[in-house]
Structure 1
Amino acid sequence: MNAEQFVKAHRGDWHRLNELVQKTQQSRLNSLSDEELHELGTLYRRAAADLARVQTRYASTSAGRELVRSLNDLVLRAHTQVYAAPAPQPMGGVNFVLYGFPATVRRQWRVIAVSAFLMFGPALLAHLAVLFNPDLAPLFVPDSAIREVQHRAQKKIITGWGGNNEFQGLLSSPAISSFIMTNNILVTLKAIAMGVTMGLGTALVLIFNGLMLGGLSGVAMNEHVDLLFWAVILPHGILELSAITIAGGAGLVLARALYAPGDLPRRDAIKIAGGEAARLAVGVAGILVIAGLIEGFITPQPIPPLLKIAFALLTAIGLILYLNLRPRPTVVG
């Protein structure tokens, strides 16, 4: 294959790489979709390999030397975008909170969706299992938590729109608070860290957490206090469960780089995935802080259950709107 044939065979890849590089130079890597990020890494690797071939085979001719200069410039610009540290920006932390974290969640929506399936799928199965066979509850939920729900259900006092004074203190009981609050924080940390186990540990953490959640909700439904139970759980639980799901996605991002680095060297794939996982972890920490404030100041209040459910719905809508925040397009030139 002569130089002209080589150029014809690879011109399309070089042109596409140049387009992606120009896009990142104008709007930074955050502007690329997950597919475009993968494509950028793949095309960069190919262009670097093409440059090595051109230098070896065609550099002796004037056309070959010109091709070397052109390809070298393209590879250098691509390398700068892939590996260079982000340029400092005014109020970088604010920009990350407003736009960087939501953009990262959107880029990684597929692995986050897998994470959600791994947790809420088993939760549904455990809920149905306990609902149809209450004797199965101890398989999913500690006995102390089961007894606490049953005890408070037996002493329930209906007020207002079905409010239950006994259930307002549900989270203050040692059995329930240690089971739900501490558990969610530990699950979040484990879901991220266990990504280094090729994702197996992350998957198990999500599955077991889902089984416990579904089992406990099944116990509440069998005791006919499911509305009261969810009124206690959901005001802060929407954010906590979302944080766990995103944390699971972060762990799976790391796992994907370990077992399926694609065309990138595994070391480079892990470096890129580590950055994505770190951004997700920082955002998750912020979500947990807000959930903790709600848990401390809103959840314990003697508010009618339907109002608490409505508040939980507002937190869900707010989270969806937040994760879709995008900066205004920057006009270049």
Structure 2
Amino acid sequence: MDLDAYAVTHAGEWQRLDELSRARRLSGAEVDELMELYDRVGTQLSVVRAVAPDAEVVGFLSALLARTRIRAGGARTTTWRAVAEFLTHRFPAALYRLRWWWLATIAVNVVVFAVSVLWLLENPVVEQSLLSPGEIEQYVDEDFENYYSEHAAASFGARVWINNAWVAALCLALGVLGVPVVFLLLSNVVNVAMACAIMTRADHGGHFWGLILPHSLLELTAVFVAGGVGLRLFWSWVEPGDLTRARSMAREGRTAATVALGLVLVLLVSGVIEAVVTPSPLPTAARIAIGVLAEAVFLAYVFVLGRRAVEQGYDGDVAEDVGGARVATAA
């Protein structure tokens, strides 16, 4: 596509939208024209991005659309609609766009967990150096299970939610540094591996998995998502691609903010499962099935809604969504 010819062809529409967006007062017909041009120019921006990306033209059209949205005064967007848009477009789009980062994070952590458990089982001296035989016995027989039921469900759920949200927030906030994220994830995995090794050695492996699987599938996925997004933020300044380092970091930082807000809800769900389902008298198979179902719903949310949102032009970048550049980035 000849970008110059394309710009000349649509220059009249861009100029007219610019005039309407700057006007102090608009008639009803002009408001309709403004919104029609807004949609049209949004589509034109998607074409430029997909076929002949030019920083100057993309910047001009993005700013024009942003000013138009502000000029419209939010007439087409209510608070509830904005919330719905976040849940059905922005958040799943961010998760889908960054899927390879957090899927790789999950895979690496699963491998580290398996290797750690096997090594700990082969080296019982490690746990014996940390806990006395009496402490290990108490942990196996009482402490591990009591952890899920010694407090009221509401109180325990709130504590779990706050703790996991804090870990996820740290992964995102410290992501720009890279190394702290790796340390946080490694510490978390090693702690779980130690618990698994202790319970397995005491012939309580089934008990361990029956208590941890219902909530940990979704819970750890959320933490690994935060870790993966944090590492992507780190990589944005190591390898910024076609963008400057500042713009690359700004983009991924805004996306990380979208993910952080969405993960609050994901961790809330996992906290409720941990407080209500894990200690419940339901059969182990039923409790695990609830955990698997929650994880399946999350993955469907990402790979169905997220993929659809990305095809519609969302990518989790808050600035673009707020600025009105809700346009397709794929041809």
Residue aligning to 2:84: 94
Aligned partner (choices 23, 45, 53) of residue 43 of structure 1: 53
Aligned residues: 267
Q: What is the deviation of 1:148?
A: 6.2
TM-score by length of 1: 0.66
**Aligned CA-pair RMSD:** 4.2
SS at match of 2:174: helix
Residue aligning to 1:293: 272
Per-residue deviation, residues 70-117 of structure 1 (Å, max 9, x unmatched):
xxx566226657999899534111121123211211100121123223
1:150 partner letter = E
Alignment gaps of 5+ in structure 1:
1-9, 49-72, 156-165
Kindly, what percent of the aligned residue pairs are identical?
A: 24
2:98 partner letter = Q
| Larger displacement relative to structure 2 (296-305 or 269-278) | 296-305
Residue aligning to 2:30: none
Residue aligning to 1:194: 174
Change (3 A) 1:82 1:294: same
- CA distance in structure 2 between the aligned counterparts of 1:109 and 1:93, rounded to whole angstroms: 22
- CA distance in structure 2 between the aligned counterparts of 1:125 and 1:238, rounded to whole angstroms: 19
Per-residue deviation, residues 193-213 of structure 1 (Å, max 9, x unmatched):
11121x111122112211222
Within-5 A mapping of 1:184-263: 184-197=164-177, 199-263=178-242
> Do the aligned partners of 2:45 and 2:61 also contact (CA within 8 Å) in 1?
no
Residue aligning to 1:114: 104
> Do the aligned partners of 1:131 and 1:218 also contact (CA within 8 Å) in 2?
yes
SS at match of 2:240: coil
- CA distance in structure 1 between the aligned counterparts of 2:68 and 2:216, rounded to whole angstroms: 38
1:217 partner letter = C
> Do the aligned partners of 1:167 and 1:228 also contact (CA within 8 Å) in 2?
no
> Do the aligned partners of 1:217 and 1:229 also contact (CA within 8 Å) in 2?
yes
2:54 partner letter = Y
Change (3 A) 1:318 1:147: farther
Alignment gaps of 5+ in structure 2:
10-38, 313-326
1:169 partner letter = N
- The alignment status of 1:169 with 2:162, answered yes or no, reads no
SS at match of 1:263: coil
- CA distance in structure 2 between the aligned counterparts of 1:147 and 1:27, rounded to whole angstroms: 71
Q: What is the deviation of 1:172?
A: 4.1
> Do the aligned partners of 2:101 and 2:232 also contact (CA within 8 Å) in 1?
yes
> Do the aligned partners of 1:238 and 1:312 also contact (CA within 8 Å) in 2?
yes
Q: What is the deviation of 1:185?
A: 3.9
> Do the aligned partners of 2:226 and 2:260 also contact (CA within 8 Å) in 1?
yes
SS at match of 1:324: helix
Within-5 A mapping of 1:259-298: 259-298=238-277
- The alignment status of 1:25 with 2:42, answered yes or no, reads yes
SS at match of 2:53: helix
TM-score by length of 2: 0.66
Q: What is the deviation of 1:24?
A: 9.2
- The alignment status of 1:123 with 2:113, answered yes or no, reads yes
Residue aligning to 2:292: 313
Change (3 A) 1:292 1:74: closer
Per-residue deviation, residues 261-319 of structure 1 (Å, max 9, x unmatched):
12212221121111111111111111111111122222221222222122222122222
- The alignment status of 1:151 with 2:131, answered yes or no, reads no
